Amino acid sequence: MRKLAVWWLFASVCCLASVTTVEAQERGKFKKNLSIKPKKSEKENPNFPSQTPVQEPDEEFEQEPSNLRFNNQFEPKKEVNPVVAEDTSTIDEGEPAVVEYIDSVQVGDDWVKIADYYAIWDPHNVDPYGIDPLQFDEVLDLKLYDPGENRYWSAPTVDGKVTSMFGPRWGRWHKGMDLDLETGDPVYAAFDGIVRVSGWDGGGFGRYILLRHYNGLETVYGHLSKALVESGQLIKAGDQIGLGGSTGRSSGSHLHFETRYEGNPFSPTFVYDFPTNSLISDHFILTASVWDYLRGKSVNLSGFKPRYKRTVLHRVRSGETLTSIARRYGLSASTLARKNHLSTRSRIRPGQKLRVH
């Protein structure tokens, strides 16, 4: 009888251990099984949350800025947002939901709204829009910069000296402002944006860059000797985008700077005060008046007058050196050499003309 009791107790312990092991194994399988699928009714419900893991903001995201590709062109939502019909078979008389879709791409730590840039995306043409500015009848308040949103502004050149204004010139219309610089001087992005065009126009701009900005404005930088950015590249205000030059239709080194909206140029003096190299305001109210010059009306240059440039040349005399000439005009030898595209070790000859101012 004792043996029978011992045998029964031993069988009970083994059975309990077996059940516990099976349950533990089943729990382990459940924990490791990540392929559990929602019910069919849940998958068909558009309100059922996606099972796709969401990328955390602090995760690294590598992006090749110059190789951005998108399957479609994105149109900004200017009309009433689309009405999406819901499946009301499982809810009580649900009303249609008005939703807005915002497509974004992550570049570094920033999420950029694609529709803000890709309404019409053409990396080859300055004006692909085909919009007549004389039909413009809106009043748009364009925010130029916002430190709270980490969006800033910059002057396109270091000193902002104007050598030619926006307006009629040599029998045709000059659609930008010419800013003084030397070949090789830095050129900076005016506002945050994306490079839409980095190209060449031999009969006009020469080597040039066109930036599209958050607020819909576009800026053009022409006659560059070198472009340092590519189409599709994300740019922050003040980033160096190129080097000054005299390429294309140009008679001397300078930066041809334009401001455009929907492909149509207007005077940069509505936005910038170039004698002080500053912005007029943090907002720009865009109205049809900026294109009054196309109606034969006088151009509003905001009271600014053209600035003229005087060049001072020194004729080298026998026995003079770069150092002695530079000292005479209060310059360093390296500055004098750079003004004349020389090396400090270059030899100068009597009768040679050197630019000193």
pTM reported for the whole predicted model:
0.56
Rounded Cα distance, 184 and 254, in Å: 10
Same-domain pairing of 154 and 245? yes
**For residue 104, is it within any domain?**
no
Q: What is the model's pLDDT at position 37?
A: 42
Contact at 8 Å (CB) between 346 and 322? yes
What does the mean pLDDT of the chain come to?
Answer: 74
Q: Is 314 left (phi over 0), alpha (psi -120 to 50) or beta?
A: beta
Q: What is the model's pLDDT at position 229?
A: 96
Same-domain pairing of 170 and 258? yes
Nearest to 256 by CA among 302, 288, 210: 210
**Higher pLDDT, residue 3 or 283:** 283
Express each pLDDT in 60-95 by its tens digit.
334 444 444 433 333 333 333 333 333 433 334 444
Express each pLDDT in 244-273 by its tens digit.
999 998 888 999 999 999 999 999 999 999
Mean pLDDT of 32-53: 43
Residue 312's pLDDT band (cuts 50, 70, 90): confident
Residues found in the chain: 357
Express each pLDDT in 105-140 by its tens digit.
555 566 666 555 666 778 899 999 889 999 998 899
Which of 51-65, 193-207, 264-278 shows the lowest mean pLDDT across its residues?
51-65
**For residue 142, is it within any domain?**
no
Task: Count how many domains the chain has.
Answer: 2
CATH label of the domain that carries residue 229: 2.70.70.10
Residue 340's pLDDT band (cuts 50, 70, 90): confident
Q: What percentage of the chain carries pLDDT values higher than 90?
A: 36
Write out the residue range of the structural domain in which residue 344 sits: 313-355
**For residue 126, is it within any domain?**
no
**For residue 66, is it within any domain?**
no
- 140 has which bridge partners? 286
Same-domain pairing of 273 and 326? no
Same-domain pairing of 320 and 228? no
Same-domain pairing of 153 and 235? yes
